[in-house]
Amino acid sequence: MSAHGTQSPRTPVTDTPTRRRTSVRTLPVPPDSRAPWRAGSWTAIIAILVILHLFAFEATDFRPDALVTGARGMANFLAEAIPPDFSPKVITAGISGALTTLWIGLLGTTISIPFALLLAVLGARTTSPNTVVYQIARAILSFFRAVPDIVFALIFVTAVGLGPFAGVLALICHNTGVMGKLWSEAMEDVDPGPEQALRTAGANRFQIVANATVPSVLPQLTGLLLYRFDVNVRSSLVLGLVGAGGIGLLINKSIKTFQFDTMLTYLIIVLVLIIVVDLASAWIRKKLA
C-alpha cells in the first residue's frame, strides 16, 4: 500500500518452469556374431537330413507309385474280405484266441513286476548301493529293452516250442527292461525329504526304499504299469504271428490260407479287445487318482 492509502497494482508472478530437453542417445545394436554360425548350422542340418532321406528312400525302395499300380490288388483283397465270416466256429475260435492274447499280455506284465522293481531300485541313482551295482543294473535293463519282444519270442519258440508260453516269456524279458527303466527314472525324481528323514532316524537302505521311496512314487508306478499292460496286449498279438499263440496265430493262418473274410473277423475281435482293455485301464486310473 502506498503512502496515499491507495493500493498499488501487483505484478502477477508467473512460474514458468524451465523445460529441459533431454536427448536420448541411441546406441547401435552390436551385430550378433553367432547369427552366421546359426544360419550355416541350420543349413547344414537340413542338407544332412535331405541326404539321409534320399539314402533311406533308396534303401527301402520307397515308391508311392506302387500304391497306385497295386490298387487293383488291394481292391480284390477287400472284396474277398468283405463281408467278414461271422460263423459260430470262427467267432468261437476268435474269442478263444483273443482271451489267450489277453492272458499272455497279463502274465507278461505282472510276472515281470518283481524283476523290474528290483532292477529299478538298483538302477536308480538315489537308491542304488554303489556305482558298480548301478552300472550293472542299467546294463541289464538296456539289454532287455534293446532286444525286441518278437526276437525274444523267436528264441523262446525255439527253446520251449510253439504256443503262448513262449509269448509270456518274451514279454517278461522285454517288459522287465522297459518298465524297470521307467520306474528307475520315477524313483530318481522323488522328493528326497522322506528319505532323508528316515536316514536321519537310522533306517537302513531297504527300510528307506520300502517306506519312503516306493510309497512316494506308487501312483506313478501304477500308471506306468497300466500303460505297459496296454502295450503288452498289443504286442502279444504280434507275437502270435511268429508262433507264440493267441489270436495273432489265427490271423497268420487265415492269411496264409487266403481266408481273408475270416481274417477280417479276427481283426474285428482284436479291435473289441483293445477297446475293452483301454476302457478298463482308464477306469482303474480314475479310481486310483
**Which of 74, 100, 126 is the C-terminal boundary of a domain?**
74
C-alpha cell at 262: 475270416
CATH number, domain at 249? 1.10.3720.10
Angle of helix 214-239 relative to helix 260-288, nearest 10 degrees, comes to 180
Instruction: State how far the alpha carbon of 94 is from the alpha carbons of 168, 254, 257, in Å.
Output: 19, 11, 16
Residue 87 corresponds to which amino acid?
Answer: S
pLDDT score of 1 = 47
Over 60: is that where the pLDDT of 25 sits? yes
Q: Are residues 155 and 255 in the same domain?
A: yes
Instruction: State how far the alpha carbon of 31 is from the alpha carbons of 28, 39, 136, 145, 196, in Å.
Output: 9, 14, 50, 48, 50
Instruction: State how far the alpha carbon of 11 is from the alpha carbons of 2, 34, 139, 190, in Å.
Output: 15, 67, 98, 82
C-alpha cell at 97: 484266441
Containing domain of residue 55, as a range? 40-74
pLDDT score of 21 = 55
pLDDT score of 207 = 73
Q: Are residues 168 and 282 in the same domain?
A: yes
The pTM score is: 0.73
Q: Are residues 106 and 135 in the same domain?
A: yes
Q: Are residues 134 and 62 in the same domain?
A: no
Q: Are residues 189 and 260 in the same domain?
A: yes
DSSP-assigned letters across all residues of 74-119:
HHHHHHHHSS----HHHHHHHHHHHHHHHHHHHHHHHTTHHHHHHH
Q: Are residues 165 and 242 in the same domain?
A: yes
Over 60: is that where the pLDDT of 36 sits? no
Running DSSP on this structure, what letter comes out for residue 164? H
- pLDDT, mean of residues 144-161: 88
Residue 20 pLDDT class (50, 70, 90 cuts): low
pLDDT score of 221 = 84
User: Taking Cα atoms as reference points, which of 70, 90, 22, 61 lies closest to residue 253?
Assistant: 90
In tens, the pLDDT along 116-144 reads 999 988 888 887 778 898 899 999 999 99
Residue 289 pLDDT class (50, 70, 90 cuts): low
Q: Cα–Cα distance between 259 and 198 in angstroms, integer?
A: 64
User: Taking Cα atoms as reference points, which of 87, 138, 139 lies closest to residue 266?
Assistant: 87
pLDDT score of 173 = 92
Phi-psi region of 202 (alpha: psi -120 to 50; beta: other; left: phi over 0): left
Does residue 195 form part of some domain? yes
More confident residue, 197 or 239: 239
Does residue 160 form part of some domain? yes
